[in-house]
């Protein structure tokens, strides 16, 4: 049975929703890399109630994968089995209560930084340098310019596999470098952040400085996926990649950025296999040069065919 038939069969088993369900949905258009395969079924919930009702009604045997802005995500060419849940506009609200900023998981990090600025709340300027959404940023404890989510997050709201809502205090999240201990199966729906009263002009200046630095030092106007590898303790990933001679290295339509070599770029027509294979080649060369094994920061999800495995490993 073909993948498309699988998707058509699975969608018939889905509970009734207010949002949208789509079988065999191409995911490349949702990712910053503009590469990758299909979702067997794509679900875009209308809001948290719609998401909770869906989770309560869908079989526990159906695999679930959650995506947001997909800015730090590589969907493999074999696609994603089961249901992909994309949290979009129904989860993008941002509210202010005193010095608290409450943001939905689908809200862009930049939008949260701007909302805090407009309310005269400092401390969240670093979010303007992270090209993602709040849900993914919380899960991976995203950071930039000396700050991380754990520095400003006070609590997280999430729903479990059965659709029940939970509130989790920040100190229960197990935040470490680019990691959290969010239990498997929990889906972040919103998070609360603590701002510090400040002058709007000063906050704006800091955000402008961050934006200008990103423009100069990162390939922000290309098809990329953000930082590819985590910084090993005591090292910077980009320096290790550069020292291994990988700046500008290519595979198919994928290339290591010449501007910032901890970024992979789709130069046009790259497959997810090209991109992952290039990343693995960079890891191999860095290890040969320095003895340091780089860890992926980009999250790679989905299925690999036998051909893809061979291409990545070659």
Given the residues 125, 148, 276, 297, the one annotated as active site: 297
Are 240 and 290 contacting, i.e. CB atoms less than 8 angstroms apart?
A: yes
CA distance 177 to 161: 26
Query: CA torsion, points 29, 35, 39, 44, in degrees to nearest 10?
Result: -30
215 as an active site residue: the answer is: no
178 as an active site residue: the answer is: yes
CA distance 135 to 158: 10
Residue 293's CB: how many other CB atoms inside 10 A? 11
Are 53 and 278 contacting, i.e. CB atoms less than 8 angstroms apart?
A: no
Are 192 and 155 contacting, i.e. CB atoms less than 8 angstroms apart?
A: yes
Length of the chain: 314
Given the residues 178, 214, 283, 285, the one annotated as active site: 178
202 as an active site residue: the answer is: no
Query: CA torsion, points 14, 19, 20, 26, in degrees to nearest 10?
Result: -100
Given the residues 71, 137, 227, 257, the one annotated as active site: 227
Annotated active-site positions, please? 178, 227, 297
């Amino acid at each position: 049975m073909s993948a498309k038939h699988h998707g058509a069969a699975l969608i018939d088993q889905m509970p009734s929703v207010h949002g949208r369900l789509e079988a065999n949905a191409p995911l490349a258009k949702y990712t910053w890399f503009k590469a990758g395969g299909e979702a067997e079924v794509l679900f875009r919930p209308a809001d948290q109630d719609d998401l909770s009702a869906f989770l309560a009604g869908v079989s526990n045997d159906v695999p679930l994968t959650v995506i947001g802005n997909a800015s730090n995500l590589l969907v493999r060419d074999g696609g994603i089995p089961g249901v992909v849940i994309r949290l979009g506009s129904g989860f993008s609200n941002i509210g202010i209560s005193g010095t608290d900023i409450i943001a939905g998981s689908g809200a862009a990090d930049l939008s949260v930084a701007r909302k805090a600025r407009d309310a005269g709340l400092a401390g969240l300027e670093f979010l303007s340098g992270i090209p993602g959404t709040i849900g993914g940023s919380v899960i991976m404890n995203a950071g930039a310019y000396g700050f991380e989510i754990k520095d400003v997050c006070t609590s997280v709201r999430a729903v479990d596999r059965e659709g029940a809502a939970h509130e989790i205090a920040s100190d229960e999240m197990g935040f470490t470098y680019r990691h959290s201990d969010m239990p498997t199966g929990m889906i972040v729906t919103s998070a609360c952040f603590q701002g510090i009263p400040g002058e709007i002009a000063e906050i704006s200046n800091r955000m402008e400085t961050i934006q200008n630095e990103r423009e100069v030092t990162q390939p922000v106007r290309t098809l990329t996926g953000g930082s590819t590898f985590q910084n090993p303790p005591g090292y910077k990933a980009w320096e290790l990649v550069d020292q291994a001679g990988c700046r500008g290295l290519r595979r198919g339509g994928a290339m290591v950025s010449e501007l910032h070599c901890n970024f992979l770029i789709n130069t046009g027509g790259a497959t997810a296999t090209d991109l992952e294979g290039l990343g693995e080649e960079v890891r191999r060369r860095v290890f040969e040069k320095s003895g340091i094994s780089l860890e992926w920061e980009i999250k790679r999800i989905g299925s690999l065919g036998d051909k893809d495995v061979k291409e990545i490993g070659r």
